[in-house]
Structure 1
Amino acid sequence: MRHALPLALAALLLGGCASHKPEDFNGTWINQDAIDAAVKGTSLRQALADHGPVFEWKVDVKNQKASFSNGFEAADGRLAANQKDWQVEFEGGLSEQLTLAGDELLAKDPSGHTQTFVRAQGSNSTPLGSSFERELYKAYLGGDWKILEGRGQGAVVRFSDNGSVTGLPGPDRFALCMAGDCATMGAGNDSLWLERNQLGAPWIFKREGNRLEIFQAVNRAQPDEMPQLAAGARQWVLEKN
C-alpha cells in the first residue's frame, strides 16, 4: 500500500485542475483565425503576421510531446502537467501553456500572448504544418480561376490544397510564402513559388476578393545584400468564377 499515495498524487497532477481528460488535448490543431483573416483581407502576409506566429500544434499526451510550426520552422517540446492544464518546455527556455476552452486549444506564451486553435480534420499522422497549409490553400485559392489576361487567356486554373496547380501555362506546383526568409525577401509583398520539374522561381502576387494578379519578381537589392523582391511586369490576371 506504500505506493498508493504517490500514485494517487501522480494521477491528480496529470489531471490538473481542468475538467478535460488528458487525451482531449491530443491531435493536430490549426490557427483558423489566421486563415479567416487571410481570406477576408487583401494581404496574406499581414493577416498571417497579425494572427501568428504559430499556425499549427501537434499534441501527443501519451508520449509527453508537443510540437508547433510557424510556417517556416518547427519546434519540438516536452509536455508536462501543471496546475494550469499543460506546460510545453522547449530548448532555450521557451515555454507555452496549453489550455482547452470548449472545443478550442489556447496556447499562451510567458508574455501572456494567447493564440486560439481548432482541431484539424483528418489523420494526425500528417507532417507538422501540413494541415494548416492545406486548409489555407483550400480557403485562400480554392475553386476555379479563369485567366483574364496573360498566357493561356481563357483557361481555367485550379490551385489544389496539396500544392499542385493546373491550367496555368508552365508551372504545375505552387507554394504560398507564409513566413521566414521568403517573407523577408518579399519586402512587404505577398509572394508565391511556382515551379515545374523542381525548377522554379518566386513571383509577387496581389489578391483582392475574386481577383488575383501575378507579377514577375524583380530583385532590387545589391549583389551582396539579401534579395528584396518587388513587383515587375504583370504576367497574369485571374478571376475566380
Structure 2
Amino acid sequence: MRCLFAALFFSALLSGCASPPADPSGTWINQAAIDAAVEGGNLREALLAYGPNLEWQIDSQRQQANFSNGFEHDEGTFARSADGHLRVNFYAESQESLSLSNNQLVQAQSATWPEQRFVRAAATPGPLAPPGSSFEQALYSAYLGGTWVIEEGVGEGGLVLFQADGSLQGLPGADRYALCLAGDCAAMSGEFDSLWLQLADQGQSWIFEREGKQLRIFEALNRAQIDEMPEYYKGELRWLLKRR
C-alpha cells in the first residue's frame, strides 16, 4: 500500500511540475520571405517562394487566429489538440494546423498551403493598424530602409527616405508609397515588381527593379484595352536611386 501511495504522490508531483504549453499569442511574420527579398532583390519571387501567408495574429484568450497574405485577411477560431497543435477553423470550412517549434510558429502543409514558418514580430503596430501591418513594416524597413541618393531623374542628387510606415521623403511628386504584395496589383504587373506612389490624394502604379544597392523606378505602361484589367509593362526609366 505504501508503494501505491508513493507512486501516486510522485505521479502527482511530476504532473504538477510539467511545463504548461507555450502561449503562441501575439503577431508572427514571415521573416523568410523578407530575407529572400532583401538578398535576391525580386520581391514577387520571394513572396511566391516563401508565402503566400505573410502574417498571423493569435489571441489565446479569445481562441482567435487571423492571417494576412498581403491582399486577403481571414479570421478563424482554434482549439488546442492533444499534441499541442492549434486546429484553426475558418468560416469557409477550411482548417489549418499551427504549432510552436524552436521559437517559430509553424503552419503545417495542407491541401491549400505549403509548410510556412513565422517569427514573432519585433514591434506591433497600434490597435487601429490594418492586418498585415507588422509584416509590411518589417519588409519596408529591411527592403527599402536607409538613405538613397537620386543618381538619375528629377531631383538628381537629392536624398530619398522610404519609411517603414509608408511615408516617403525626398522623391519629387510623392509623399507616400506602397509595395505590391499580392492581389490585383500583382496580377496587373505580372512578372514585374510594382509599387504605388502617391502625393496627397493622387497616385499611380510604377514598375521597379531592386538590385543590390540600386533601385530603378520605371513608368508603368498599360497594354490592355480600356474595358480590360490593366496589364502593365516596363516603360521609360524615371529614377535611378542608389543606397548609401
> Does structure 1 residue 64 correspond to structure 2 residue 59?
no
1:20–1:100: 8 Å Cα contact kept in structure 2? no
Contact 1:78 1:89 in 2 (8 A): yes
Query: Contact between 1:57 and 1:67, CA under 8 Å: does it hold in 2?
Result: yes
How many residue pairs get matched? 223
Instruction: Name the structure 1 match of 2:157.
Output: 154
Provide the rounded CA distance (Å) in 1 between the counterparts of 2:180 and 2:20: 36
TM-score by length of 2: 0.88
**Residue 101 of structure 1 corresponds to which residue in structure 2?**
101
Separation in structure 2 between the aligned mates of residue 128 and residue 183 of structure 1, nearest angstrom: 19
Question: Matched residues in 2 for 1:180 and 1:55: separation?
Answer: 13
- Measure, in 1, the Cα distance between the counterparts of 2:82 and 2:192: 43
CA distance in structure 2 between the partners assigned to 1:197 and 1:214 by the alignment? 20
CA–CA separation in structure 2 for the residues paired with 1:32 and 1:123: 15
Q: Name the counterpart of 2:38.
A: 39
The sequence identity of aligned pairs, in percent, is 50
Q: 1:132 to 1:61 in 2, by over 3 A?
A: same
- 1:183 is matched by which residue type in structure 2? A
TM-score norm. by structure 1 comes to 0.89
- Determine the C-alpha separation between the residues in 2 that align with 1:20 and 1:160: 40
- 1:109 deviates by 4.2
Aligned residue number for residue 118 of structure 1:
119
Residue 110 of structure 1: how far off its partner (Å)? 2.5
In the other structure, the counterpart of 1:79 is: 78
Give the drift of 1:83: 2.5
Amino acid at match of 1:118: V
- The equivalent residue for 2:195 is 192
Give a deviation string over 1:91-124, Cα, whole Å, max 9, x none.
Answer: 1221110100021100114337210000012347
Unaligned 5+ segments in structure 1 are 1-17
- Equivalent pair of 1:95/1:109 in contact (CA under 8 Å): no
In 2, Cα distance between the equivalents of 1:174 and 1:51? 23
Paired amino acid for 1:72: F
Greater Cα offset, 81-90 or 107-116 = 107-116
Structure 2 CA distance for partners of 1:81 and 1:222, relative to 1, 3 Å: same
Match of residue 207 from structure 1: 210
Contact 1:186 1:228 in 2 (8 A): yes
Cα distance in 2 for partners of 1:86, 1:142 equals 35
Moved over 6 A (4+): none
Q: RMSD over aligned Cα, in angstroms?
A: 1.5
Per the alignment, residue 148 of structure 2 pairs with 145
**What SS does the aligned partner of 2:100 have?**
strand
**Is the CA contact 1:144–1:156 (under 8 Å) kept in the aligned structure 2?**
yes
Report the secondary structure of 2:92's partner residue: helix
Taking the aligned partners of 2:130 and 2:179, their CA distance within structure 1 comes to 17
Contact 1:219 1:227 in 2 (8 A): yes
Q: Is the 8 A contact 1:157 1:166 kept in 2?
A: yes
- Counterpart CA distance in 1 for 2:185 and 2:166 is 17
Contact preservation (8 Å) 2:25, 2:59: yes
Secondary structure of the 2:38 match is helix
Q: Output the CA distance in 2 between the equivalents of 1:199 and 1:83.
A: 53
